[in-house]
């Protein structure tokens, strides 16, 4: 079965927000008395699942929604200057031509995503932008997107950079392409057993074109 819908995560998958997110988190950490993250810590943190990361940083799950909302708002001030993942802008047009539905599902805000895509001249390629305020709420939204567009599970591919993206896809019953240029390491993503492991944007395009998409 060929994919009809290609759905992207945003942070770490489309936008190279890792360093800016670290800086924003550290600003909040100082205000809330949380453990900060040094640049040299990122390599080891890339192996952590979401629950392991929160435990390491000693962040209660009950504080996550407020921290996420605050961080998203702070990111908006800088979103237009955040770089796109190198090589992705070169393959997005071809991927869009091969798809019926081309969207974003993120735990960031749709306003941030819209501003980012417009600043990089990419907004025209995306048919929808969707967000969830919960870090673990993507499975429900993926199912809702399937229902909205009358898609079979095997017609949808979710593209993300984190273990939680893989788990959400599996829970929603759809395939996941885990990209290794974002937050989680290749090794940790492999252990989560996604349908595909992708190391660079050109490989993502090649996989999609090789599989083909019904239009």
Q: Render each residue's pLDDT in the chain as its tens digit; 215 residues.
A: 679 999 999 999 999 999 999 999 999 998 888 999 999 999 999 999 999 999 999 898 888 888 999 999 999 999 999 999 999 999 999 999 999 999 999 999 999 999 999 999 999 999 999 999 777 789 999 999 999 999 999 999 999 999 999 999 999 999 999 999 999 999 999 999 999 999 999 999 999 998 754 43
**Domain range spanning residue 172?**
5-16+84-211
| Positive/negative CA dihedral, 144, 149, 154, 159 | negative
Q: Rounded distance, CA 10 to CA 182, Å?
A: 10
Residue indicated by tokens 């895509």: 117
Q: Rounded distance, CA 155 to CA 1, Å?
A: 7
User: Can you give the length of the chain in residues?
Assistant: 215
**Together in a domain, 129 and 30:** no
How many structural domains compose the chain?
2
CATH number at residue 107: 3.40.50.1000
**Together in a domain, 49 and 105:** no
Torsion of CA 194, 162, 142, 87, to 10 degrees: -90
**Together in a domain, 28 and 91:** no
**Together in a domain, 35 and 89:** no
- Structural tokens at position 134: 């919960």
Give the burial class of 43: count Cβ atoms within 10 A of its Cβ; 0-12 exposed, 13-18 middle, 19 or more buried: exposed
**Together in a domain, 104 and 160:** yes
**Together in a domain, 165 and 185:** yes
Query: Last residue of a domain, which of 32, 55, 80?
Result: 80
Q: Rounded distance, CA 42 to CA 5, Å?
A: 32
Q: Rounded distance, CA 24 to CA 70, Å?
A: 9
E strand segments, 56-118: 101-106
**Together in a domain, 181 and 207:** yes
Query: Last residue of a domain, which of 36, 51, 80?
Result: 80
Q: Rounded distance, CA 128 to CA 113, Å?
A: 11
């Amino acid at each position: 079965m060929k994919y009809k819908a290609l759905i992207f995560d945003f942070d770490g998958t489309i936008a190279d927000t890792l360093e800016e997110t670290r800086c924003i988190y550290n600003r909040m950490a100082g205000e809330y008395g949380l453990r900060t993250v040094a640049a040299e810590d990122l390599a080891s943190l890339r192996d952590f699942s979401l629950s392991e990361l929160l435990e390491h940083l000693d962040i209660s799950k009950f504080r996550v929604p407020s921290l996420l909302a605050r961080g998203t708002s702070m990111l908006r001030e800088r979103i237009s200057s955040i770089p796109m993942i190198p090589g992705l802008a070169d393959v997005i047009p071809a991927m869009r031509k091969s798809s019926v539905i081309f969207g974003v599902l993120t735990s960031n805000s749709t306003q941030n995503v819209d501003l980012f895509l417009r600043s990089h001249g990419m907004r025209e390629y995306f048919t929808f932008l969707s967000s969830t305020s919960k870090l673990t709420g993507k499975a429900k939204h993926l199912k809702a997107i399937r229902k909205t567009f009358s898609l079979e599970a095997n017609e949808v591919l979710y593209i993300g950079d984190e273990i939680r993206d893989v788990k959400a896809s599996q829970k929603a019953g759809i395939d996941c392409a885990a990209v290794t240029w974002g937050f989680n390491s290749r090794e940790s993503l492999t252990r989560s057993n996604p349908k595909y492991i992708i190391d660079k944007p050109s490989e993502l395009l090649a996989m999609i074109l090789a599989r083909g998409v019904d239009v």
